[in-house]
A and B are shown apart, each in its own frame.
Chain A
Amino acid sequence: MRLFKIRGGVHPDDRKSLAAARPIEDLPMPALLHIPLQQHIGAAANPVVQRREHVAKGQLIARAQGAVSAPIHAPTSGRIAGLGFYPANHPSGLSVRSITLQPDGEDRWHEDIHGVDNPFALTPEEIAARVAQAGVVGMGGATFPSAVKLNLRSRYRLHTLVINGSECEPYLTCDDRLMREQADAVVDGIRIMARALGVPRVMVGIEGNKPEALAAMRRAAAPVDGAAGFATGFATGTAADAPDSERTAEITVVRLPNRYPMGSEKHLVQTLIGLETPARGLTADIGVVVHNPATAFAVHEALRFGRPLISRVVTVTGAAVSRPRNLRVPIGTKVQDLVDYCGGFAEPPARLISGGPMMGQPLPELRVPIMKGTNGVLALTAAETSRREPSACIRCGSCVDACPCGLVPLQMAAHTRAGDLEGAVSNGLMDCIGCGSCAYVCPAHIPLVQFFNHAKGEMAARGRAKQKQAETKRLAEQRAARMEAQKQAKREAMAKRKREAEAKKKAEAAAAEKAAATVSD
């Protein structure tokens, strides 16, 4: 298949061999789970359980709030030990609202957990509703509620579902392992999503450094008649009412070149179909929706078995980890439990990261929980980070060549450094995807992403302040108008009273005159 070239990018040492050969293992159930209520983009979930309440595995423990949100379910059966605050898996290390669950060791499923015999007999809306109920979010790290994306077909003319199996971040192997070991389930999830989106075409993009995943996915995505497992089930159980075009979305598995950031969804879509997503737009603007293979797996679990998203595969790796592994981990497990299972640290890590080395966030401490979007825990040695003190920019232009978005990072950084954020914005700050390619290649080791994150945060704060100001002004004006109206009403009332009083007086006078006249008569 013809691929389209994208601009820029870098070729970091992928270091995937540390963990790629390790099959996914189930992490033993930890003693306590700390489940944050905000694990997704959008509004935090609202708890529906009480302290000391017993919950079953898969039971709803926090309900979605608002249009963009996701519910949260109990990862195992046990007792709600508390509803309170617990340190977040976030660089700030701030405490966030969390539910603490004490597993009872029985791992007993809730009795209402049932799958659908034939998901393809459901309407797209029903599929999306089930995905929403299962709390599925984008598992590549963005954690956008998946059901919202599955419902895009009402607003956009979609033609392609792209599955982002590029896993372009170095070190991470969780999607690789999932596609190797659960290819049939992943492909089933993909078909269900394609059905929900109503698209005739699916493209699964996988970087060439994952030949086994490519082979497994190609085999699983082969035309239905020869395929085993769920695909066969789906083929035999197909309801007559589903038109052929929707049943059999054509799945193409594509070998992508190894280049970071191939997994940036807009760049992946460009590589596959040759169109850029318009600035500030969504890939849906050009008819494409992108999902992650782990999300497809979660959709499969949700539809076939009714299982909500309560665990995920996490890669624990880095040269500082004694035995790098790929683990299936209940949501809410402490990072410490993962590290312990992997034999602890071989040497004190120079840096601990949640996610990949290119876009991951530093971990503030080891007791923070794994969330729905946590794809990796990295413990890097000093040699791996090759950090140096930043020096002056020599304008070499490496960052310009590396930027996949066509920006001039050195100029954006210079504007930001000088406090000229508007200048940074006019140089394209808001088009920056924060991939870190520029900072990765910078010979002066300038923390460019740090500058841009700062500028973006500051601009967002300014935007909020501006909005608040406008809102305050609006309220003040409304109040002034209200006061004026009240005054006006008062004045009118007074005038009315006055008129009435005068009329009364007149009437009295007239009556008196009349009376006088009568008397005089």
Chain B
Amino acid sequence: MNQSLAASPHAHAPVSVGRTMALVMVALVPATLFGLYQFGWPAIFVFTVTLGSTAAFEALSLLIAGRAVRPALMDGSALLTGWLLALTLPPWAPWWVGVIGGLLAVVLGKQVFGGIGQNLFNPAMIARVALLISFPVEMTRFLQPQPLFSAEAPGFMEGLAITFGGQTYDAITGASLLGHVRTELGEGATIGEILPQVFDPLAALLGTVPGALGETSALLLGLGGLFLLYKRVIAWQIPAAMLGTIVLLATLMSLIAPDHYPGALYHVLSGATVLCAFFIATDPVTSPVSLRGQLLFGAGVGLLVYVIRTWGGYPEGIGFAVLLMNACTPMIDHYLKPRIYGRDRRGRPLDYGEQAVNAAPEKNR
């Protein structure tokens, strides 16, 4: 009988790491296509370059480490990292931002830790934060949407020139909503004066606003997130805790001082909030494994995002918040374990005393 004497179980759910990654990518497709459409050819080029470079650096790292390249590349984890990173980049960023981002994400963020599953920090966020600190100008140059094939949109060749030729496009640059509001607040304006001019909740929901390549459409990202929840790729704990915390804090603060603190809708619909809640904070490798731990983790990300946006040195705090909570993940996992069957929370065997024998028979009557 030529069969392996493998241990049970002898059947397996139809799941794999590759399937998980593929489902996440499927969930990202609508928001990504919308972003690419909104920002035209340069965005398409940056997206392509970023994905290509993460895949290339992954392959290179595996070659250097002497591991099999094909199976590791085929699971799609490197592509997904590149994808998520690309969505957080300014859409008309020069090509080398994507390449350096890919290098940082895959090599520094993942492979030096030992490859998939071993990294402490979210690779895409490592790259985003490192790029933001290193190239603040290129990383904060946002622009009004120029839908593909519209009159103002750059054509294919022009797009090539913007992404690869370093062609400037000063005329149409602008800040992201978060950055703009922050600057205005710093100059003494009140929320009541700023927001009505720049914040249209419907546009922010749909994503027809300046912003990073794939972060703008809260609606499409949210739908993708619901798809992942439905497919049980992610659990509800992290998104719910994160969004809940932000909503709670923003509502509370805007009630206390409406002139200085915008409300919950603004915080949820702008920046990378929704992308983070469903796609970034939920990265399995760098988030806690227990459901209670995930609740704490999500709440922590939400809290830090709000604190950094409101009082920190940067208009957007997603990257920092995620990385800081990533650092807490091992501790959360250590302290927030599920209760073991037949034991109390401290690990001692349950002791019912007399109650078990006396109470049990009547319980179901």
Contacts and interface: CB of A to CB of B under 8 A. Distances in A.
Interface of A: 1-2, 7, 10, 12-13, 91, 157, 159-160, 170, 200-201, 266-267, 272-281, 285-288, 349-353, 357-366, 378, 380, 384-389, 391-398, 400-401, 403-408, 410-411, 428, 431, 434, 436, 439-445, 447, 449-450, 453
A275 B8 contact: no
- The secondary structure that dominates the B interface is loop
Contact of B290 (A396, A397, A431): A397
A286 B361 contact: no
Interface string B342-362: 110000011110001100110
B17 A391 contact: yes
A440 B290 CA distance: 18
Contact of B291 (A287, A401, A439, A447): A401
Given A385-B10, A397-B290, 5 more contacts: A157-B357, A287-B356, A353-B10, A387-B6, A401-B235
Contacts of B1: 352, 363-366
Nearest to B115: A392
A275 B352 contact: yes
Contacts of B12: 385-388, 439-440, 445
A155 to B, nearest CB: 13
B7 interface: yes
B361 A201 contact: yes
A439 B13 CA distance: 9
B7 A453 contact: yes
Given A275-B352, A352-B1, A447 B6 contact: yes
5 contacts: A275-B360, A387-B12, A394-B116, A407-B338, A443-B20
Nearest 8 interchain pairs by C-beta: A436-B9, A397-B289, A279-B342, A450-B7, A396-B284, A406-B338, A279-B349, A357-B11
Given A10-B13, A351-B10, A407 B340 contact: yes
Nearest to B117: A392
Nearest to B20: A443
B17 A394 contact: yes
Nearest to B348: A279
Given A279-B343, A453-B7, A394 B361 contact: no
Nearest to B237: A397
B289 A431 contact: no
A443 B19 contact: yes
B14 A281 contact: no
Contacts of B350: 276, 278-279
B337 interface: yes
Contacts of A274: 360, 363
Contacts of B3: 349-352, 362
Nearest to A156: B357
A7 B341 contact: yes
Q: Which of A275, A286, A396 has the most CB of B within 10 A?
A: A396
Contacts of B11: 12-13, 170, 357-358, 380, 384-386, 440
B183 interface: no
Interface in B66-99: 71, 75, 77
Q: Which of B16, B115, B116, B289 has the most CB of A within 10 A?
A: B289
A445 B19 CA distance: 12
Nearest to B334: A411
A114 to B, nearest CB: 36
Interface residues of B, number: 53
Nearest to A450: B7
Interface of B: 1, 3-17, 19-20, 71, 75, 77, 115-118, 235, 284-291, 294, 333, 337-343, 349-352, 356-357, 360-361, 363-364
A266 B115 contact: no
Contact of B360 (A273, A405, A411): A273
A441 B13 contact: yes
Q: Which of B14, B16, B286, B294 has the most CB of A within 10 A?
A: B16
Contacts of A362: 3-6, 10
Contacts of B340: 279, 405-407, 428, 431
Contacts of A406: 337-341
Contacts of A453: 7
Given A278-B351, A392-B118, A357 B356 contact: no
Nearest to A362: B5
A48 to B, nearest CB: 34
Contacts of A443: 15-17, 19-20
A400 B8 contact: no
Contacts of A397: 235, 284, 288-291, 294
Nearest to B343: A279
Nearest to B3: A351
Contacts of B115: 392
Contacts of B4: 362
Contacts of B339: 406
A449 B357 contact: no
Contact of A408 (B6, B337, B356): B337
A426 B287 CA distance: 23
Contact of B341 (A159, A353, A404, A450): A404
B356 A394 contact: no
B116 A388 contact: no
Given A278-B342, A279-B343, A400-B290, A449 B16 contact: no
Nearest to B116: A392
B10 A357 contact: yes
A504 to B, nearest CB: 71
Given A364-B1, A431-B343, A286 B290 contact: no
B13 A287 contact: no
A280 B341 CA distance: 10
Contact of A273 (B75, B77, B343, B364): B364
B352 A286 contact: yes
Nearest to B290: A400
B289 A395 contact: yes
A400 B20 contact: no
B20 A396 contact: yes
A287 B15 contact: no
Contacts of B343: 278-279, 431
Q: Which of A288, A397, A405, A431 has the most CB of B within 10 A?
A: A397
A166 to B, nearest CB: 17
B8 A281 contact: no
Contacts of B9: 357-359, 436, 439-440, 449
Contacts of A200: 361
A397 B4 CA distance: 28
A349 B1 CA distance: 10
A391 B284 contact: no
A445 B350 CA distance: 33
A428 B1 CA distance: 36
A87 to B, nearest CB: 11
Contacts of A359: 8-9
A360 B9 CA distance: 7
A391 B75 contact: yes
B32 to A, nearest CB: 22
B27 to A, nearest CB: 15
B360 A287 contact: yes
B341 A279 contact: yes
A449 B7 contact: yes
B6 A450 contact: yes
Nearest to A444: B17
Contacts of B289: 395-397, 400, 408, 410
A393 B116 CA distance: 8
Contacts of B284: 394-397
A439 to B, nearest CB: 6
Contacts of B16: 388, 443-445
